[in-house]
Structure 1
């Protein structure tokens, strides 16, 4: 009898140990490796029928992205799940593998939901174990110089040295394409992307970046600001982790005030906003011990599950209304600016900052005194207003040559149609009037900004197979913020169309001088335009080459496609012959 008891005790002890994560087995000092994480999730999926481990696409490292799905009724088809009116919560981990708390917290969360049979009835929980697989293999313990553990961790860049949290529009990595496939297949209502912060020292373990409230659809924004965020704060306070907004200081220390984070679509939560999904970036504090950071992340993820389960019907209805609204929306903001005149105050638990001589240089350096904690109110500015807006066209016309843009539109559930036959269409086109370009590469690109366009109405020839994208879709925000060149993260700004900025033909000046003289003789309007320019611009008057160039660019010899943005706007609802 005693032997039987000991055998059973050993069996259950081994079972318990087998379900421990690598993080737990390391006495909470190490983060799991990629191979160990996937093996752990494979075991969970084999052990529990309510879990399924799926793979999508590939990554630059040659491995697919995994997605663990937890479903109380064992339904793993996203279309059926949506038909059954269930909410989908998507948790993304390891976009920066040196910030690994979510990787380990999600493993424990999945196990505990399965083991305790606590998967909510109205919510399907989806977990990407490690998004930046490439960076997770580049493992060491020194790349994040200021971070307090774990012993070793992955690297921020992927195998192409890309920061994947800048790649959600340009999609230079296969990782991004695989993520977008997951996102647009599952269409989550709530998205959480786990991170670790850098910056000032303060008392909080967890800070939070919600989707920027002013950029989010107003229906969703009201729920976010009035219900979801306050309840997350209250829930975490009860669990021992008071939170504060992400500490984006305007000065050297938080007491100078903080501003909200304006995430453009290159970032994960900026991208999800384009699809009317409420997104979050929880940022644990790098200076707190790793075990506290993992525990805080675990408890926050639990809180998300609880709140989404509680509000499942409301969240679904809000998303439905927001999608319906955006299909009919006429005006769309493209760029945003912080309103510096509109702020408020929030309580903040910090440490007193001071200056002391640097042991390295002898000059004064900043330090925080953890023996002098304080609670005080600090200023917060978190109101953003549109600085550039446009009226949507009926549709965009895209020549079929621009295949990367078309492929990304399709990946994002944008309905694209094709012309059946060649046709001439009256459209509005943009000529790129001015723009700025970075002097150094950023994420593999010389990014454009501050784009000015000159709209011109033209009749252009289009051909069978060219694409038509109507703006009566749920994906309108994605369509407009990628195809309008003035938008912060437009395809144009990410260099998709740079070839149109080059002239392909020109002239020999000594020959074109005679042609120009003939043009001025036969075209009084052009001659008047030239003399008007000379009268208004004394520098131009003294520059013969500039005058010759002026005549050329105002003649039929000048190529009409130079600086003409290739995506045209169809302004009238004409009947098109579509495939």
Structure 2
């Protein structure tokens, strides 16, 4: 008899704890040779991440699996442990596939039972105030109070580093990260966020939009769970329309996009009964498996083509904006919204009348355009001192070369001309944005052991979107390089006054530059300190590394002395 999950034993009212989930999978793997429970790395909670692998051929080595031309589907559960449907659905699905001997021939299924182990131990029944069950569940933040679905680039948590190890070891073609929604009320149990199509390589985007997503919708309709795109309303209710979700690289599916993996965030509706949400998740995961098995050969071909195209791609988008001029419509099953007096405040409040369901057409905006693009260099050069950056590039299967000897190299350098910084911390950082760079050609000194990253790799998207400072989720914007924004030397004004006098006397071009600045800026013309600082910063006394972004661009195809 197949083992029951804690969810089933509770009458479908409770979700499995971390200990229960791991114990369940250990027993499942022990009794089934087509299943293996692996452990990787560690987490901020001190426990490793588990990975259940289901393989019909009993092969559990990812390199061997890829050589045999099988697809890999990775399912991630419990990134937000208060949204636990995937935890319970995956346990039942793994058991049922094994028990009925129904594992797909051409797809290996990998399941992370609980990703945010830390948060799963912080268990209450109240932290998600708007959610209808289960009885108790985990907390969104991990033990560092980080939202792990904002941590895939900055990698402040050990959880993220270990996830990236798993992801880049197994290299799945399809990724699913299970969630529960917040927001408006409507009739659907399941909503769906696919990888933003406009950010994907066109071959992958075409398959996603023309085949995979439509067939997911058809499959779920047939299983009794019609779906709708994630209800990202432009106003308080969906009636005025919804927009697509831009999954930045900080998010799981935005991160997987950087590796040419098609990702999904299914979001069940918070107000539906928990058993319906689990059942819908179970059936959606089942549908993914069926479609990936059906299209296994095509998915593999698409991924290989996309990797080749990205390796040779010249221009890359760094920032994305919603195109409000392109709009579609879609049928939407909602509930009539209205207002009534609040029993708390006496003011008018929003409510949805479930006695008044409707189906009507609403608008959808889901076209995103690159607002900033960059031409890739031949390579980036990174001084070895920036070891955190180097470690993350290596973790993401980026090939790095090391300089063999000391020497000067002609490069394109960026100086950070301007940027904005949030006034409040976001996920432990004061995030930068609206970065402006000043580009200049320089001969810079490099040393043996400094790193060269050639931009001719399938991982080009990851390379460019982390190393170009204007990219929304660049390492610069996540404060990896903030020390360059500080001056380490300055001057005493009473001493530098005499030096500045000599500089202006001996450098007519500098004097003309100062005079032009005074003529164009009345406030500057009245500010003696600002004028003295201007002379200093336009002289050889000013440190050349201040505001100079340390990752340089090699734009001339020169032969470097590499190890």
SS in structure 2 at match of 1:352? strand
RMSD (Å) for aligned C-alpha atoms: 0.4
Per-residue Cα deviation, 1:549-572 (whole angstroms, up to 9, x for no partner): 000000000000000000000001
Matched, 1:336 2:323: no
1:535 shift after superposition:
1.1
SS in structure 2 at match of 1:345? strand
User: Partner of 1:101 in structure 2?
Assistant: 85
- The whole-number CA distance in structure 1 between the counterparts of 2:557 and 2:138 is 52
User: Partner of 2:74 in structure 1?
Assistant: 90
SS in structure 2 at match of 1:157? coil
Match of 2:189 among 205, 208, 215: 205
User: Partner of 2:109 in structure 1?
Assistant: 125
User: Partner of 1:491 in structure 2?
Assistant: 475
**Structure 2 residues without counterparts, runs of 5 or longer:** none
- The whole-number CA distance in structure 1 between the counterparts of 2:482 and 2:496 is 28
Any runs of at least 4 consecutive aligned residues in structure 1 with deviations exceeding 4 A, and if so which?
Answer: none
User: Partner of 2:12 in structure 1?
Assistant: 28
- The whole-number CA distance in structure 2 between the counterparts of 1:388 and 1:95 is 31
User: Partner of 2:96 in structure 1?
Assistant: 112
User: Partner of 2:460 in structure 1?
Assistant: 476
Matches within 5 A, 1:20-419: 20-419=4-403
1:393 shift after superposition:
0.2
- The whole-number CA distance in structure 1 between the counterparts of 2:345 and 2:28 is 54
- The whole-number CA distance in structure 2 between the counterparts of 1:532 and 1:199 is 55
User: Partner of 1:452 in structure 2?
Assistant: 436
Matched, 1:517 2:493: no
1:112 shift after superposition:
0.6
User: Partner of 2:407 in structure 1?
Assistant: 423
Per-residue Cα deviation, 1:90-116 (whole angstroms, up to 9, x for no partner): 000000000000000000010011001
The TM-score normalised by the length of structure 1 is 0.97
SS in structure 2 at match of 1:229? helix
The TM-score normalised by the length of structure 2 is 1.00
**Structure 1 residues without counterparts, runs of 5 or longer:** 1-14
Per-residue Cα deviation, 1:190-241 (whole angstroms, up to 9, x for no partner): 0000000000000000000000000011000000000000000000000000
With 525-534 and 123-132 compared, the bigger mean Cα shift is at 525-534
User: Partner of 2:541 in structure 1?
Assistant: 557
- Number of residue pairs matched? 563
Per-residue Cα deviation, 1:131-170 (whole angstroms, up to 9, x for no partner): 0000000000000001000000000000000000000000
- The whole-number CA distance in structure 1 between the counterparts of 2:185 and 2:120 is 27
Match of 1:541 among 525, 529, 535: 525
- The whole-number CA distance in structure 2 between the counterparts of 1:86 and 1:508 is 68
- The whole-number CA distance in structure 1 between the counterparts of 2:490 and 2:341 is 63
SS in structure 2 at match of 1:96? coil
- The whole-number CA distance in structure 1 between the counterparts of 2:407 and 2:97 is 58
1:532 shift after superposition:
1.0
1:536 shift after superposition:
1.1
SS in structure 2 at match of 1:76? coil
- The whole-number CA distance in structure 1 between the counterparts of 2:260 and 2:224 is 31
Match of 1:503 among 487, 491, 498: 487
